Amino acid sequence: AQSVTQLDSQVPVFEEAPVELRCNYSSSVSVYLFWYVQYPNQGLQLLLKYLSGSTLVKGINGFEAEFNKSQTSFHLRKPSVHISDTAEYFCAVIYNQGGKLIFGQGTELSVKP
Amino acid sequence: GAGVSQTPSNKVTEKGKYVELRCDPISGHTALYWYRQSLGQGPEFLIYFQGTGAADDSGLPNDRFFAVRPEGSVSTLKIQRTERGDSAVYLCASSFSGGTYGYTFGSGTRLTVV
pLDDT digits (tens, 9 = 90+) for A4-24: 999 999 999 999 999 999 999
Scan residues 27-46 of B and list those with Cβ closer than 8 Å to A: 31, 33, 35, 40-45
Taking the CA of residue B36 and the nearest CA in chain A, the distance in Å comes to 11
pLDDT of residue B102: 80
Mark yes or no for CB contact B105/A103 under 8 Å: no
With a cut of 70, list the residues of chain A below it in pLDDT.
none
Proportion of chain B above pLDDT 90, given as a percent: 85
* Preceding peptide of A12 cis, ω within 30°: no
More confident residue, B113 or A30: B113
**What pLDDT does residue A1 have?**
73
Q: How confident is the model at residue B1 (pLDDT cuts 50, 70, 90)?
A: low
Task: Give residue B101's pLDDT band: very low, low, confident or very high (50, 70, 90).
Answer: confident
The distance of B15 to chain A (nearest Cα, Å) reads 26
pLDDT mean over B74-83: 98
Q: CB-CB: which of A45, A94, A105 is closest to B42?
A: A105
For the segment B83-105, the average pLDDT, to the nearest whole number, is 89
Count of CB pairs separated by less than 8 Å, A with B: 62
The contact set of A with B (CB < 8 A) is 4, 6, 32, 34, 36, 42-46, 49, 51, 90, 92, 94, 97-106
Give the residue-averaged pLDDT of B13-24. 98
Mean pLDDT for the stretch of residues B86-91: 97
Of B42, B98, B106, the CB nearest to A99: B98
* pLDDT the model gives residue B97: 75
- Whole-angstrom Cα Rg for chain A: 13
Which pairing describes strands B75-79 and B53-56: parallel, antiparallel, or unpaired?
unpaired
Cβ density class A86-104: b for 16+ within 10 Å, e for less: bbbbbbbbbbeebbbbbbb
Residue percentage of chain B with pLDDT more than 70: 98
How far does A16 lie from chain B, in Å, by closest CA?
26
